[in-house]
Amino acid sequence: MTDPTPATPKVRKGQGDTTLSREEFGRRFRERFYDRAFDPLSAEIARLEDVAWDGYSNSRKSPRTRKAGPEFADPSYDLSIE
């Protein structure tokens, strides 16, 4: 005979960490430059990767913004211009 009351489910709180490691970030970034035509530009690509990593690791999701303006509840809020 089975128990008529179901087991109480375990409640999960928060969200798992999805932050990429530096190595994984670099691997994914360099995937876009797999073509041998990019080989002579490897130093430049490495410099771009460093800049991209800096933006990612410092959470610069909206690096270019403008103030929301008077039509918004918070006119001084920074809105992304993208």
Q: What is the 3-state secondary structure (H, E, C) of the chain?
A: CCCCCCCCCCCCCCCCCCCCCHHHHHHHHHHCCCCHHHHHHHHHHHHHHHHHHHHHHCCCCCCCEEECCCCCCCCCCEEECC
With a cut of 80, say whether residue 8 has pLDDT above it. yes
With a cut of 90, say whether residue 82 has pLDDT above it. no
pTM here?
Answer: 0.67
4 or 64: which leads in pLDDT: 64
- pLDDT > 90 fraction of the chain, expressed in percent and rounded: 71
Residues 9-28: tens digit of each pLDDT: 988 888 888 899 999 999 99
